Amino acid sequence: MSKNAIYAQSGGVTAVINASASAIIETARKYPKKIGKVYAGRNGIVGILKEDLIDTSEESPESIARLRTTPSGAFGSCRYKLKSIQESRDAYQRLVDVFATHDIGYFFYNGGGDSADTCLKIAQISKEMGYPVQAIHVPKTVDNDLPVTDNSPGFGSVAKYIATSVLEASLDVAAMSLTSTKVFILEVMGRHSGWIAAAGGMASNQGYPIPLIILFPEIAFDREQFIQRVQNSVSEHGQVSIIVSEGVTDKDGQFLTDQGRSDAFGNQQLGGVAPMIASIVNQDTGFKYHWAIADYLQRSARHIASKTDVEQAYAVGESAVLMALDGENSVMPAIVRTGNHPYQWEIGKAALTEVANIEKKLPGHFIDESGYGITQACRDYIAPLMEGEDYPEFRNGIPHYVQLVNKPVPRKLDTGFEI
C-alpha cells in the first residue's frame, strides 16, 4: 500500500532546481501503487514544520512539465537550518508528527550541504521515533561545493551566464577603450569558494582570447600586484575585465566588503566589492572604469541555462525517486563524470554520511601560478557543464514561466509550531 511523499526546496534557489522538482513529481506519478501524493513544503522545511503543505497532485501535467524551464523555487524555499538533534529535538519531533499525520513515507530534500545534514538527521530521528521515512537528498547549489558528486545542479547555468556576460561586456569595452572605459569589473557570487569566479575565466579561450583578471576568494588580495597586472593588461591590450568574487579577502583573511563603507546617509553600506575594486583602480591608475554586480540575476537566469545543467538537475530528481522505490535511505543521487572527451556522465549514489557538512573547495591546481587565472584542468572541468542551450518559451518578449496553483493540503494537526 502506497505512502505519500514530501518534497522541499532549501536555501538559495537556482535556474534549474525546478527541473529537479519536475522530475520528482513526474517520476512519482508513474508509480501510483508505491507513491501516493507528492506534497511540497511551502517555503521549504518551514512549511513542513508549520504543516503548510502544497498538494502537487492539483497541478496539471503541463504545469509540472513546464517547471523544467522555470527558474527559482516554485514551492518557495527558505533559509532555516535545523540544529543538532539535541538542540532542535522539538523541531525534529514536529517533522515526524507531520510525516505520520500525512502518511509520509518518502522525504525528498532539494538543497546544499546544510540540507544534506538535515536530511540525514531526519532519516535517523524518524527511525528512532518509530516512524521511519526514507530521506533522499537531491543536490542543488550554484556554489558547486557539495562533495562526492562531480558537480552540483545550478552551477553549470551560473557558469554559462557569467562567462557569457564577461564575454559580452569585454567586447563592449574593446570598442570603447580608446577614448573611454578601459577596465570593467564584474562581481560574482561564491563567498567561500571561487567556483563561479573561475567560470568567468571561460569567457576567454585560445580561439578567442580576452584580457581577464580573476580575484579568487582563495587568494589574498594584493593591491600592488593587482594594480601591476591591470597596468600591464591595459598597456598590452588596451583593456582588462576583472571578475571579482564577493568573498575576496585581504591578507588577514578579512572580507574586503567587511571593511566599513558609509554612504551619503551615513549608513554602513552592505555588499559590493566591485565598487571598492573600482575605486582602487581609479585611485592607482586613473583608468576609466565601469562595474557591474550580477547578484540574483546570475542564479535566476533561466533564459541562458546550460542544457547539461538542466538535464542533470532532472536526472538527479528522477533518480531520487527511483532510489526511494529501491528502498534506499539517507542517500543522494550524485553526478559521476565517466568521460571528458567526449564528456560523459551517469548518476551514482552517495551516502549522506559522506556528504553532510563537507564542503568541496575549488582545487588548488584549478588556479594558475599567477593566482589570477584558471588552468586547463579547470577549463576541462567546467566546459562541459556549460554546454548546450535549453531556452524557455517566450511570450510578450519575455520568458513565459509557469505559475502553479500551489493548493494547500488541509491541516490535520490541532497544534501549530513556532519558527
Site for a copy of itself in 80-119 (CB under 8 A): 80
- Mask for 356-395, x = binds a copy of itself (CB under 8 A): ---------------------------x-xxxxx-x--x-
Residue 313 C-beta: closest distance to a copy of itself, Å: 15
Residue 384 C-beta: closest distance to a copy of itself, Å: 8
- Mask for 299-338, x = binds a copy of itself (CB under 8 A): xxxxxx-x--------------------------------
Does residue 237 belong to the site contacting a copy of itself (CB under 8 A)?
no
Residue 224 C-beta: closest distance to a copy of itself, Å: 14
The residue count for binding a copy of itself (CB under 8 A) is: 91
Does residue 296 belong to the site contacting a copy of itself (CB under 8 A)?
yes
- Mask for 244-273, x = binds a copy of itself (CB under 8 A): ------------x--xxxxxxx-xxxxxx-
CA 359/CA 361 separation, integer angstroms: 6
Cell of 396: 510578450
Does residue 205 belong to the site contacting a copy of itself (CB under 8 A)?
yes
Q: Which is nearer to a copy of itself, 170 or 193 (CB)?
A: 170
Determine the 3-state secondary structure of 116 from DSSP. Answer: helix
CA 381/CA 341 separation, integer angstroms: 11
**Torsion angles phi and psi, residue 173, rounded to 5:** -65, -40
Q: Which is nearer to a copy of itself, 404 or 409 (CB)?
A: 404
Q: Which residues are catalytic?
A: 143
Does residue 184 belong to the site contacting a copy of itself (CB under 8 A)?
yes
Q: Can the peptide bond before residue 342 be classed as cis, meaning omega within 30 degrees of 0?
A: yes
Picking from 369, 374, 384, 14, the residue whose alpha carbon sits closest to that of residue 198 is 374
**Torsion angles phi and psi, residue 374, rounded to 5:** -110, 155
Cβ–Cβ under 8 Å, residues 142 and 113:
no
Q: Which is nearer to a copy of itself, 126 or 300 (CB)?
A: 300
How many angstroms separate the Cα of 135 from the Cα of each of 29, 47, 109, 172? 18, 17, 7, 49
Q: Which is nearer to a copy of itself, 120 or 294 (CB)?
A: 294
Q: Where does this chain touch a copy of itself (CB under 8 A) — which range of 121-129, 166-174, 366-374, 407-415?
A: 166-174
Cβ–Cβ under 8 Å, residues 153 and 316:
yes
Cβ–Cβ under 8 Å, residues 270 and 346:
no
Residue 419 C-beta: closest distance to a copy of itself, Å: 8
Cβ contacts of residue 345 below 8 Å, gap of 6+? 150, 312, 335, 336, 337, 338
Choose, by CB under 8 A, the member of 282, 285, 375, 406 that binds a copy of itself: 282
